[in-house]
Amino acid sequence: MSHTKPPQLYPGDLIYITAPAKAIERSYIDETIRWIEDNGWRAQVSEHCLGKHHYFSGTDAERRVDLQHAIDNPEIKAIWCARGGYGSLRIIDQLSWAGMLFQPKWFIGFSDITAFHLKLYKLEIQSIHGTMPYNINTCSESSLDSLKNILRGNKINYSGISAIGSKKGTAIGPCIGGNMSLVYSLLGTDDQPDFRDTILFLEDIGESIYSIDRMCQAFRKARIWEDISGLIIGNISKLRQMESDYGVSIEALFLEQLQFRKIPVLFDFPVGHEPNNLGMICGEEMKLSVFDSGKYLVEFERNQE
């Protein structure tokens, strides 16, 4: 069953830009404000969004205050995280999520923002794994269009050619996932969601192949591979080179874990740290179909209220 869907955005609605992790330069925010206004919405930038405290956009307290304001303010209809990097886990437990339960609103971002998606999934509120202001000038038009369509309440589906190694089949279940390293880091914590009967999507950047393997083994020990009903692997970007050949491909690592399961597996789906980063609705019911013909279809069931 799908989680609570935040209301769609209408002309004049307010989108709040905040930086809960790494610092960001003004030019990205200025360009994002133009995009928001060109689409008929209003933009507000958090007090410390353009700040700088060592690696972060502000101290933990400053970043927390910015995000808490967005959660609690009923005028704000969507929270758009400026960029990832690192920092979300430092403040996530200091936030009160009561405002989000009382008045759900869209929470947008990817990479390090995965921590918030998993938190919201446990709270049974949908969120958007999608492109961010830091990527506003480099992401594809399809990335921005997918985000715009989700916010406007349009029905979402993606189709294409399935990559070599993909396993045919059909699965239906709530969409869950994001950055693999972040999902891995939350295993065994109070923010680990229930993966039973979900369709899991994963992406990552800057890891070595043995790191991906180590995370796969941890997922195995956490019984995630036994629980999910389908798997989507997005971009595994900028794979770190090793001194010697590991001898196994990325695809083989995942297929090894699922060799005894008859569930669909889709590789190279356009989600992650590449220009084409399509919006995924975490907590929404999804149908994943990988066909004999070598094509795939990803459909989100969006019942309009």
Q: What is the pLDDT of residues 241-253, one digit of tens each?
A: 887 889 999 999 9
Confidence of residue 305 (pLDDT cuts 50, 70, 90): very low
For the segment 204-213, the average pLDDT, to the nearest whole number, is 96
Tokens 């406007």 belong to 152
Predicted pLDDT at 244: 80
Q: To the nearest whole percent, how much of the chain has pLDDT over 70?
A: 98
Q: Is the pTM of this model over 0.95?
A: yes
Q: What are the residues whose beta carbons fall under 8 Å from the beta carbon of 58, sequence distance 6 or more?
A: 19, 48, 51, 52, 66
User: Could you give all domains of the chain from N- to C-terminal order, each with its CATH number?
Assistant: 14-141 (3.40.50.10740), 157-300 (3.50.30.60)
pLDDT tens digits for 21-42?
Answer: 999 999 999 999 999 999 999 9
Q: Which of the four pLDDT bands, split at 50, 70 and 90, describes residue 302?
A: low
Say whether 66 sits in a helix, a strand or coil.
helix
CA-CA distance, 79 to 71, in Å (whole number)? 8
**What is the pLDDT averaged over residues 54-74?**
98
d(CA 241, CA 197): 35
Query: What is the predicted pLDDT for the residue at 161?
Result: 98
Q: Is the pLDDT of residue 303 over 90?
A: no
Q: What is the pLDDT of residues 81-119, one digit of tens each?
A: 999 999 999 999 999 999 999 999 999 999 999 999 999
When pLDDT is averaged across residues 145-154 and rounded to a whole number, the result is 98
Whether the CB-CB separation of 219 and 258 falls below 8 Å is answered with: no
CA distances from 216 to 4, 41, 132, 210, 265 (A): 30, 41, 27, 10, 15
Q: pLDDT tier at 1 (50, 70, 90 boundaries)?
A: low
Average pLDDT, the chain: 96
Do the beta carbons of residue 25 and residue 69 sit within 8 Å?
A: no
pLDDT(282) > 70: yes
